[in-house]
Structure 1
Amino acid sequence: MRTLFILFRKELRSFFQNPFGWVIIAAVAIANGVGISTSMKGFVDSPSQHSLIFATFHSPVFWFWFLFIFPLITMRSFAEEERSGTLETLLTAPVRTWQVVLSKYGAAFAFYVILWIPTLLQFHLFSWVADLPDAWTPGEVFGTYTILILMGMAFTAVGCLASSLTSSQIIAGLLTICLLMLLFFFGFIPIIWGGAFQGAGIFYYISCQEHLAFFAKGFLDTRPFVYYITLTFMVLFLTYQIVDYRRWKR
């Protein structure tokens, strides 16, 4: 475990020692701020029964920038080290393959969680500046950030898998966004074809849009927990197999 912690700390530190990591934090804060401002303007134009958090995260604008977080934070994980040759050095060191995979995944996921800390402050700025009660309930905040963490857990694993398949950061990023867009559009299949066809329940079950909308209302459901945790373990297992194959191939 000590080796895993050392590798994890090294990987996490690399996000903050690189200006690109701070750019990602700033970009997420700006994008979320724009989303909050847009939602507040929408409330002025047409009052809604939904909370400010629901309106901010349940919009096409949110999904556009949200899905692009993951290629940015994972495309360097394995691809950059493969290109520079440092991955070969790492894999020939006295460390286990699972330690390499978990340290890179864990650091990327931890950085993803850190990205959301400024957004919590942005929502509280609404009540501080406007001198009005919070436009949401504690349950809605808890539910929203719970599902964001669950989705981030699985989507970060997908990004690490894509990065392990190539030595090009650009290809890894493109592959990540393509896989995530595929998962995203699965949720539109019942909307396009209707919910009466056989198998529609499966698409509702894996729909990240449905999950976010449900949790953002302050509700909790154990099925998304099972789905995202299972997906994370499956994808990480594939990543482990790919990296381990590269290790013994050498």
Structure 2
Amino acid sequence: MYTILKKEIAGFLSSMVAYVTIVFFLVITGLFLWVFPDSSILDNGYATLDQLFYIAPYVFMFLIPAITMRSFAEEKKEGTFETLATSPLTDWQIVIGKFFAGLLLVILALVPTVIYYFSVYQLGSTPGNIDSGAVIGSYIGLLLLGAAFTSIGIFTSSLTTNQIVAFVLAVFLCFFCFAGFESISSIAFLGKIDSLLISLGISAHYQSISRGVLDTRDLIYFLSFAALFLAATKMVLSIRKW
């Protein structure tokens, strides 16, 4: 697993993909937090990072698929997947190694945003007048969300040799899993199963953690979600070996 992890990180850092996606994330979130008048902290006058944690999931829907689209698709296109598949590494080691490599880049994209927290912390009329517990909870929520989206991206990349197809499929699945169930639940004739549908979507669990309360049910949901897509990826790899 560590061999795959180091190989993937080296591959990311030797290309422009990692740098462009991280810069893109920071620019978009920075614009929403400090520039755009409808969401700017300076214009609204409130010491809060709510806008960051509201916009970040939607940016992640594009950023993470851009990071993960090459995971398996590029290997298959360049003919190196056969070598990887016949190596002493197990399918699980390959899948987990690529998953953690993608997740590490997501973490690297989040680390610079800590500057936003310290800026808001100092900008308040009373320095420190910010709900740090909610901020920590929101960062944990973003990390878990990143893990969920990374597992989706790894899965879609295993389905095709075309990185663009993998990207588009991942964006669609990320959006559907995040907001799709909630949208379906709004259909009137579904009645009592509305709450069940909402609980199946990522959004409800992300919002729950963002309040600063770590509920075991939310943690189990995210871990199970990532495990499901990673298991599906492993199954795809196993089928392709036959």
Cα displacement string for residues 85-128 of structure 1 (whole angstroms, at most 9, x for unaligned residues): 01111112222221111111111111112210011112212344
Report the AA paired with residue 186 of structure 1. F
- 1:53 is aligned to 2:53: no
- Partner Cα separation in structure 1 for residue 157 and residue 33 of structure 2: 32
Q: Give yes or no for the alignment of 1:79 onto 2:73.
A: yes
Using the TM superposition, give the Cα deviation of residue 234 of structure 1 relative to its aligned residue in structure 2, in angstroms: 1.4
Superposition deviation, residue 235 in structure 1 = 1.1
The answer on 1:92 being equivalent to 2:109 is no
SS at match of 1:52: coil
Consecutive unaligned residues in structure 1, runs of 5 or more: none
Matched, 1:153 2:154: no
Q: Of 159, 162, 182, which aligns to 1:187?
A: 182
Moved more, 158-167 or 101-110: 101-110
* Deviation string, structure 1 residues 111-146 (Cα, Å, up to 9, x no partner): 112210011112212344678524522211211011
Q: Report the CA distance between 1:41 and its aligned residue.
A: 4.7
Residue of structure 2 equivalent to 1:32 = 29
Q: Residues 212, 35 of structure 1: CA spacing in aligned structure 2 closer, same or farther, 3 A cutoff?
A: farther
- Give the match for residue 12 of structure 2: 15
**Percent of residue pairs identical:** 28
SS state of the match for residue 218, structure 1?
Answer: coil
C-alpha distance 98-224 of structure 1, shift in aligned 2 (>3 A): same
Amino acid aligned to 2:50: F
* C-alpha contact 2:68 2:157 (8 A) present in aligned 1: yes
For 2:226, give the aligned amino acid.
Answer: T
Q: Which amino acid aligns with 1:40?
A: I
- What's the counterpart of residue 164 of structure 1? 158
Q: Which runs of 4+ in 1 moved over 6 A?
A: none
Q: What is the correspondence of 1:99-118 to structure 2 with a 5 Å cutoff?
A: 99-118=93-112
Deviation (angstroms), 1:168 = 0.2
**Post-superposition shift, 1:157?**
0.6
Contact 1:36 1:52 in 2 (8 A): no
Contact 2:60 2:146 in 1 (8 A): no
Alignment of 1:90-239 (within 5 A): 90-128=84-122, 133-183=127-177, 184-190=179-185, 192-193=186-187, 197-239=191-233
* 1:6 matched residue in structure 2: 3
- Distance in 2 between the 1:27 and 1:151 partners? 18
Measured at CA, do residues 206 and 39 of structure 1 come closer, stay the same or move farther in structure 2, by a change above 3 Å? farther
Asked whether the 8 Å contact 2:122–2:128 carries over to 1, the reply is: no
Letter in 2 for 1:33: G
Which amino acid counterpart does residue 31 of structure 2 have in structure 1?
V
Give the C-alpha shift of residue 196 in structure 1: 7.9
For residues 159-188 of structure 1, what are the alpha-carbon distances to aligned partners after superposition, in whole Å with 9 as ceiling and x for unaligned?
Answer: 111000000000000111111121122123
TM score, norm. by length of structure 1: 0.86
Structure 2 stretches of 5 or more lacking a match? none
Query: How far apart in 2 are the matches of 1:62 and 1:85?
Result: 35
Q: Distance in 1 between matches of 2:189 and 2:200?
A: 14
